[in-house]
Structure 1
Amino acid sequence: MLSATEKTTRPGTGVRRIAAVAAAACLALTLSGCQRDGTAPSAARAQAVGAAARFGPVDCRQAKCIALTFDAGPSEHTAALLDVLRGKGVRATFFLLGARHIERYPELVERMAAEGHEVGSHTWDHKILTRLSEDAIRDELRRPDEAIERLTGRRPTLMRPPQGRTDDRVRKAAKEEGLAEVLWSVTAKDYATSDSALITRRVLDQASRDGIILLHDLYPGTVPAVPGIVDALKERGYVFVTVPQLLAPGKAEPGEVYRP
């Protein structure tokens, strides 16, 4: 378990330490330690019916869709990542940290939104929400949302809880803040290696239709892996979409948990 001193993220060692424990714990239990239930993208799509249903640019009922998501940025590597995504014609979903990330790189948050990426929250200070009081949970959710809204003009509707840890109190607070929680099905454990080829192989080995890929744009090995991941998955017939596009014509509902 994490010690009390590891509850606050700092660039470098702090977030590495948290991410290492987080992903190891969650994946070892196939996310069972994070959240057992949740709504699959296909179920979200099936729940939306009627002539007014909107699919956006891609109908994931027909297309082989997959969502590329990045946690814990922005960072010094994010500008290069945005260049890669723009060059590949891929839109991703970013779950941003407030303290020392949104605050430090506001121009990158603005660029994400301007270039059509989905901008969500990864809390303000990467505290484990299930260990906090209800007031503290709401504060961790509200502060990054307010900061993102000031920069982009749009309040986030999605968040990813640190370590994927959620419970009834977290879901209640998320609902009150107008947020849906998004978990994942693919991780490269990029917190533990700078080997871009290994990161690429891990993603490709786990990828499946309607998958949600978890990467971190603050680690040096991740961004160099992205071009190979994108090219290989496109060759396999995948279409990259944001999380809202993956759910369309369904819509992420506040207080709900979405995971493949």
Structure 2
Amino acid sequence: MHETDQPDATTAPQQSPTADKTDERRFRLRPRTVVIAVAVLTAGALAAVGIVDWLRIDTESPADVRSAAGDDGKGAFGSVDCREKKCIALTFDAGPGQYTPRLLRILKEEKVPATFFLLGRKHIDTYPELVKQMAAEKHEIASHTWTHRNLTDLSTDEVREELERTNTAIEKLIGRKPTLMRPPQGRTNDDVNEISRDLGLSEVLWTVTAKDYKTNDSDLIEERVLDQAGRDGIILLHDIYRGTVPAVPGIITELKSRGYTFVTVPQLFAPGVPEPGKVYR
């Protein structure tokens, strides 16, 4: 689930699909190997890559939020009640970009709402009309920071700047600030939580990742998503990579055939509402 090996979203190199499949076979580890490898890692080594902070973060699920809200929650159901239906959320990070118009056409044709965690520099400021289109077509607009820096490596002032600048840019385009954010690489800690709370932002991670930042093989991306999909799932994809958008129609068609209803992240939590400063997946 964790994206610690993800490169900077604005500069990630494209890798050949064949190389990705070969590498995947070559480096696949058996469960026993993984256990041994983890056992020999020191706490200092874990801290060096930011994993310790991430492991200590408490998260809540959509079902937790719905249950806590009872019948008195204030979350909007949209067209479906996820307490009764088998819901799943499509989310896209680090856009908009050159492939986003095609994605929006697909989502419109399929009548599927999505949640877009938008990146500021070279994305929001480069494609403002796409941001407006997303909002007009009833997708959820959320933040993925301004420059995609690892927030746990920054000072509190820098974290605040990354989030505030993105909030301001989004509000200027669609008339409202986002209420959700996704920290780059899923890395967060108590300082990030506190600043997010001050800014009215809930942090949303994911339960499904295709690691589409490492491959252009659309069939492989589709396969990875479908293998991991489950009720209340939050699917992480990126609309800035060449292989991702072509995988989306197959993902939608298959999950619909399995009885899933696509919703935005806020709809997934309804009648509950994610609380600013908390982390959800």
TM range (shorter): 0.7 to 0.9
Partner of 1:18: none
Q: Alignment partner of 1:73: what SS?
A: coil
Aligned residues: 242
Matched with 1:21 is: none
Q: 1:80·1:223 contact (CA, 8 Å) conserved in 2? A: yes
Q: Give yes or no for the alignment of 1:39 onto 2:56.
A: no
Partner residue of 2:215 out of 162, 172, 193:
193
Structure 1 segments unaligned to the other structure (5+ residues): 15-27
**Aligned residue among 228, 240, 248 for 2:262:** 240
Q: Once the two structures are aligned, what percentage of the paired residues are identical?
A: 59
Match 1:49 to one of 49, 60, 70: 70
Contact 1:95 1:120 in 2 (8 A): yes
Quote how far apart the aligned CAs of 1:125 are.
0.3
Q: TM-score by structure 2 length?
A: 0.81
Task: Say which SS state the counterpart of residue 63 (structure 1) adopts.
Answer: coil
- Secondary structure at 1:181 match in 2: strand
Deviations 1:9-28 (Å, cap 9, x if unpaired)? 535549xxxxxxxxxxxxx9
Q: Following the alignment from structure 2 to structure 1, what is the Cα–Cα distance between the partners of residues 195 and 13?
A: 29
Q: CA deviation at 1:154?
A: 1.3
Task: Name the counterpart of 1:92.
Answer: 114
- The CA RMSD over aligned residues, in Å, is 2.3
Kept after mapping to 2: 8 A contact 1:7/1:128? no
Residues in 1 aligned to 2:203 and 2:173: alpha-carbon distance in whole angstroms: 22
What corresponds to 2:243 in structure 1? 221
CA contact (8 A) 1:7 1:127 kept: no
In the alignment, is the contact (CA less than 8 A) between 1:7 and 1:126 conserved in 2? Answer: no
Match of 1:128 in 2: 150
Q: 1:37: Cα distance to partner?
A: 1.8
Match of 2:159 in 1: 137
Following superposition, the deviation at residue 57 of structure 1 comes to 1.7
Structure 2 CA distance for aligned equivalents of residues 86 and 246 of structure 1: 19
SS for the counterpart of 2:196 is helix
Please report the TM-score for the alignment, with normalisation by the length of structure 1.
0.88
Larger Rg: 2
Equivalent pair of 2:206/2:233 in contact (CA under 8 Å): yes
In the alignment, structure 2 segments of 5+ residues that lack a partner are: 15-33, 39-49
**Partner residue in 2 for 1:102:** 124
- In 2, Cα distance between the equivalents of 1:93 and 1:139? 23
